[in-house]
Structure 1
């Protein structure tokens, strides 16, 4: 049996235990295209849609890839997805089995679209995304407590151990972000649960303007401004737009807090570049997409770190 056939059989056997899904004619097929570059979508686990013939009722199943163990705490990610479900800011979770790597959710298909940079030009959508993140942050701490600076160190060591192809200035980039980590370590920061991934494709938007956050694989307990920073760097290519979104989020403008958020965005680029490099070296999926994704994140990180404003941002955080 092919790998996809094995996955379908696993998914079919699992959902057979769910109320109403153990009998009848059920069709299981890929839900969305898997894409690493330029976006990171469907990479962490195979996305499946199970549809009941006749009624058309469907559910969405995420079957984590074996690569997930390289960079995801699956139990924490599933716990975060459950919390988001309970809060109404994520798809409703119907079942979750971290050991099997299976997450079953409502299928937000009809009437919902994946977020795009164009939609981030709409203040009401941005405000809804920020409000959803803030609501999640009000909960109890998640079991995972690695912030972006911790992950940079972790994935840098993993990349070197895997003999991953890194840019010639990777060590310099890591050292520059260590300066930032040292500066942040002197601040009084209260960690909260965060989504941790600002990719706009991790936002679903309904035809009526509702939003749901998906893919909680980077969820952790960290600085709330880390959550905002990862979103700003992904959603706004230009600083004026990022400043405007920050001001609406904070109810005013705070230069120190904005600088913190922007530095977190730079660190997010480096982290994802390292994750992409690790997967390019170690994944059984023989594709250049991981390397392409890593290269873009390294480029964007480098562009900011080389500018004088990076040092200015560091000086403004205290």
Structure 2
């Protein structure tokens, strides 16, 4: 079978998940690439809202082709539109990562779903406490660094046609406003944390570094590991937040996941990502913001999800508690904040 490719015009560059107060899906025209192969699909997997939010931002279904090829289909549901990069952006990066051998290989994609090769049953998402293993953590950082160097081929970064630019400070501000518009009660810690971080938020523009392609989500569950061979490098999944970012946001997302339960040398985390450890306070500031963002996302999802059996509030509060602890205990960040007062 063959398929026609739509020729709808596309916006050249979008600078964040929200533009001029409108949803990204309203500002980016996605090129439709219909999935044309015939697959036999199983019942969609049940979402598992754990401390790492496994499968909580889409519908996942296993399938098999006529030739016996096993695949995993991810359908992007409407709930993610508020905070996710556009599907075309995600697919573009996933395809490049699959070709580079750092993610499952993409087989087909459409306007709202992507079909990837299903890994053998020995592969599974990593768990948070497994990042205490220095070897796994370093492998995870190496594969994230590889994303910074991905070659997107005809969709090269220089033309920025299919890669959205993300900004964590703006993302947090937008999600906070959306929660308030939805009438969601915000825990006191949200504004307490943002208030204490205000010097960092005010200086973010001056502290910014040149954006690079980033995965953008340091959750342990976004690492796929071979449970039978600890020496096999992990693969990346969960590309919802991918895009052009300040690379210290990437480091921050990892630190946000690690602390306080996985002791790590934060300076080593930065060096492994080819970042200057002298700027550790910047990564720590982004780590706290990353926790606040996901707290807001969790609260917002709980309010708007049609399926109330998925309790995203607990996940949001988990991230908020971690963010508050991190703000109190990151020494380099607190030293910098104190110097600004």
- TM-score bucket of the superposed structures, by smaller chain: 0.7 to 0.9
Structure 2 counterpart of 1:7: none
Which of 226, 229, 238 is equivalent to 1:215? 238
In the other structure, the counterpart of 1:200 is 220
Q: Which deviations, in whole Å up to 9, do the C-alpha atoms of 1:103-133 show, x marking residues without a partner?
A: 1000014221211234323333222211111
Aligned equivalents of 1:161, 1:245: Cα separation in 2 = 41
Counterpart for residue 135 of structure 1: 146
Residue among 297, 317, 320 paired with 1:295: 317
Q: Give the aligned CA root-mean-square deviation in angstroms.
A: 2.7
Range moving further from structure 2, 294-303 or 148-157: 294-303
Q: Does residue 87 of the first structure (1) align with residue 100 of the second (2)?
A: yes
| Change beyond 3 A, Cα 1:153–1:85 | same
CA contact (8 A) 2:129 2:262 kept: no
Partner residue of 1:286 out of 308, 313, 317? 308
What is the total number of aligned residue pairs between the two structures?
293
3-state SS in 2 of match to 1:83: helix
Higher helix share: 1
Residues 1:247 and 1:229: Cα distance change in structure 2 (over 3 Å): closer
Contact residue 280 and residue 287 of structure 1 kept, 8 A: no
TM-score normalized by structure 2? 0.77
Contact in 1 for aligned 2:42/2:63 (Cα 8 Å): yes
Change (3 A) 1:217 1:246: same
Where does residue 42 of structure 2 map in the other structure? 28
Which deviations, in whole Å up to 9, do the C-alpha atoms of 1:185-228 show, x marking residues without a partner?
22251111110100000100123322110011001211112112
- Stretch moving more, 209-218 or 110-119: 110-119
Q: Verify: 1:70 aligned to 2:90, yes or no.
A: no
- After TM superposition, list the pairs within 5 Å mapping 1:18-167 onto structure 2: 18=37, 21=38, 26-30=40-44, 32-51=45-64, 57-72=69-84, 73-97=86-110, 99=111, 101-139=112-150, 140=157, 143-167=163-187
Structure 1 partner of 2:202: 182
Tell me the CA shift for residue 74 of structure 1.
Answer: 2.3
Give unmatched runs, 5+ long, in structure 1. 1-13
Name segments (4+ residues, structure 1) moved above 4 Å.
250-253
Q: Mark the runs of 5 or more structure 2 residues left unpaired by the alignment.
A: 1-33, 151-156
CA distance in 2, matches of 1:105, 1:78: 10
